[in-house]
Structure 1
Amino acid sequence: MKAVVVHSAGDLRLEERPVPQPGTGEVRLRMTHGGICGSDLHYYLDGRVGNFVLRGPLVLGHEVVGTVDLDPSGNLSAGTPVAIHPATADHTCPECEAGHTNTCRNARYFGSAASEPQTQGGFAEQMVVRQDQLRLLPDGLDLARAVLAEPLGVALHAVNQAGDVRGKKVLVSGSGPIGVLVVAAAAARGAAEVTATDLQDTPLEVARKVGATQTIRVDREPVPELSYDVAFEASGSPQGLNAAIACVVRGGTVVQVGSLPGGDLPIALSALVAREITLRGAFRFVDEIDEAIQLLATDDRFQHVVTHTFPMSDVSEAMEVAGNAGVSSKVVLELS
């Protein structure tokens, strides 16, 4: 079978790998679609994601869907369409026992160098997963849209971290793929207003299509300070976090969902005390992928998030387009 494998920074190959065989409690899938995430781009461009450094060849991809190819248990018929929860937790650590499996200290995640050994991903023609990681897709949900289940799960978890957003004024700083999904999630959850910001026109166009009531090009006009009940920082930049803190009202909430760079950062935190602002992090998701699948099946706004689709053979071009926020939102690979 063919798989998309990164060997080091800038060294991305489409190579042959053996077809995997499922063991007890496992299912082999025929993969159909894979969304390119920022972490996939970082492994390709930099050979690392933050502190997680490549230690050998890694099959990329964790935003993946497909159909059942072989289930030795006989529970699932061949051809059954599924999404995949890409994480496995140990369910024994204090985080898991508290219900926070997304922060499990021993978690593994598809297409990640965070664990030892590295966890191979799903940008391949076939892959084997644990049966409990599969999510059956409802009738009528196309696999080409279901590929958004994982990143939408991330967005929904971020909204959950903010609490109830019904009737509230919401700011989303950064309108990349996760940012626009946060826009859509907040709108679907009943936010009264959702303002999206970015430095590019294309992301803001997508944000409007999925539910933003206002968009702001932050290089051309300021974002009103002390104006929002909740702010989601999705750009992963210190400047974006500073702006989010400045823009929420007294007693407001800021959720950091974008991945900030490591090391010491210039963040103005004094307002957290003076205005009693709540600052929360949002990391991956627990089980919000289940709600994501239902939303994708019932809400047409998500059709606007995928802007480009490439065959797996054109993965290098797909990566270049995915890295250009001025022309793309979510870029998807057709894996078979």
Structure 2
Amino acid sequence: MAEENLSAVLYAKGDLRIENRPIPEPGPNEVLLQMHSVGICGSDVHYWQHGQIGDFVLKKPMVLGHEAAGRVVKVGSAVSHLKPGDRVAIEPGVPRDMDEFFKRGQYNLSPTIFFCATPPDHGNLCRYYTHNANFCYKLPDNVTFEEGALIEPLSVGIHACRRAGVTLGSTVLICGADLFAERLGVAKELGADFQLTVKKDDGAQQLAKKVEEILGAQPQITIECTGVESCIQTALYATCSGGVVMLVGLGAAMTTVPLVNAAVREVDIRGVFRYCNTWPMAIAMLSSGKVNVKPLVTHRFPLEQAVQAFETTHQGLGIKVMLKCDKNDQNP
């Protein structure tokens, strides 16, 4: 094992450093992982740019990164389902307590949950990292490390679709990258039937009409991924009566929306917080070949160039920027 544990550590707003840290020892229920691929999330960039997200404020240096996959190099004394050499994807949220949320299968809502790269919890953008073994999932041979890292954002989609009630035959509007034609192009390549480029002066009701014209009917479900007030308004106007608006994107704490319009049409407004119990489904989806996330990775950087990778993400130059943490294996 190498002596170094290079880590991407955020010290304060705008102060991201690459430094060497001790290689940790796994506890009885943990595994030590040699990290391979870690994706940069918008939340990582937000912490870097602002030093906080809502009530989560950076108060001491924190290792970033939570979209991750790696290889087991050591197991704790109580771990029996994993062994050195296993390739795994990491679920970053681990409940600390067997509270009421845990008992009813909503551990993601536990107020005491550990979550990678959310203050004060360290993330896994480093060479070596320890994690609860029960939240490390073996990857099939036909699923790459990068695909394993992308299970984290894929899980957000799975959890949102579950809560929205998406099934075969559902008509779904996704509000997301609609200001950027190149991102809409990627959405088309990955299976979107229709795309609508939004102009900044388009009104919410006007856009809702355009959506109905394109689809031939109002969507049954709208998944709103931006958190932008105007997009939430469009989502509510666009969704059919009796439908569901799923709020995935996080925006301002107070947002003005046409609530009465939604209420009298019995449009349900639902939210999500991360995900729970999604990794097995995501792995099955990737292994089957029915879901292809590989085109999402547009840039790759070695861990040593983490600052450049964050700048690339912040500038919007790619879809998903991936950091390669194993200096001896920079492959996908």
Using structure 1 for the length normalisation, give the TM-score. Answer: 0.88
Q: Distance in 2 between matches of 1:307 and 1:297?
A: 21
Distance in 1 (CA, whole Å) between partners of 2:115 and 2:33 is 17
After superposition, the C-alpha distances for 1:192-227 in whole angstroms (9 at most, x for unaligned) are: xxxxxx100121111111110011111187342571
Structure whose residues are more often strand by fraction: 1
1:249 is paired with a residue whose SS is coil
Paired residue total = 308
Q: Does the alignment pair 1:207 with 2:187? A: yes
Map residues 6-85 of structure 1 onto 2, 5 A cutoff.
6-73=10-77, 75=80, 76-85=82-91
Cα deviation per residue 1:107-162 (whole Å; 9 max; x = unaligned)? 1101111xxxx111000000011111110111211112221111111110000011
Counterpart amino acid of residue 318 in structure 1: A
1:105-116 equivalent positions in 2, closer than 5 A: 105-113=111-119
**Counterpart for residue 329 of structure 2:** none
Q: Distance between the aligned counterparts of 2:23 and 2:105, measured in 1?
A: 35
1:64/1:122 contact within 8 Å kept: yes
Match of 1:127 in 2: 129
Structure 2 gaps, min length 5: 327-332
Equivalent position of 1:246 in the other structure? 237
Other-structure match for 1:102: 108
Once the two structures are TM-superposed, the CA of residue 247 in structure 1 deviates from its matched residue by 0.6
Counterpart amino acid of 1:292? A
> 8 Å contact 2:90–2:149 — kept in the other structure?
no
Matched, 1:331 2:321: yes
Give the residue type in structure 2 aligned to 1:317: Q
Q: Does 1:87 align with 2:87?
A: no
Q: Any idea what the Cα deviations from partners look like across 1:67-88, whole Å, max 9, x if unmatched?
A: 0111144743322100111111
Amino acid paired to 1:80 = D
Provide the rounded CA distance (Å) in 2 between the counterparts of 1:295 and 1:105.
30
CA contact (8 A) 2:41 2:67 kept: yes
Check if 1:217 corresponds to 2:219.
no
Query: Which residue in 1 is equivalent to 2:272?
Result: 282
Aligned to 1:183: none
Pairing partner for 2:260 from 270, 282, 287: 270
Matched, 1:298 2:288: yes
Q: Does 1:168 align with 2:174?
A: no
The CA deviation at 1:164 is 3.5
Matched-pair contact (CA < 8 Å) for 1:211–1:301: no
| Letter matched to residue 20 of structure 1 | P
How far apart, CA to CA, are the structure 2 residues paired with 1:32 and 1:123? 9
SS of alignment partner, residue 243 of structure 2:
strand
Q: 2:151 aligns with which of 118, 127, 149?
A: 149
Query: Among 211, 218, 228, which residue is 1:227 paired with?
Result: 218
Cα distance in 1 for residues equivalent to 2:165 and 2:299: 33
The two structures have a TM-score, normalised by structure 2, of 0.89
Does 1:2 find its partner at 2:6?
Answer: yes
Q: Which amino acid aligns with 1:224?
A: V
Choose the corresponding residue for 2:310, options 305, 315, 319.
Answer: 319
Looking at CA atoms only, which structure, 1 or 2, has the larger radius of gyration?
A: 2
Change (3 A) 1:318 1:159: same
**What are the ranges of 5 or more consecutive residues in structure 1 without an aligned counterpart?**
176-197
Secondary structure at the counterpart of residue 251 of structure 1? coil
- State how far apart, in whole Å, the 2-side matches of 1:243 and 1:331 are: 30
CA distance in 2, matches of 1:127, 1:112: 16
Say if 1:82 and 1:137, in contact at 8 Å, map to a contact too: yes
Amino acid at match of 1:53: V
Give the C-alpha shift of residue 91 in structure 1: 4.7
Counterpart secondary structure, 2:220: strand
The answer to whether the Cα contact below 8 Å between 1:93 and 1:105 also exists between their aligned partners in 2 is: no
1:190 aligned residue:
none
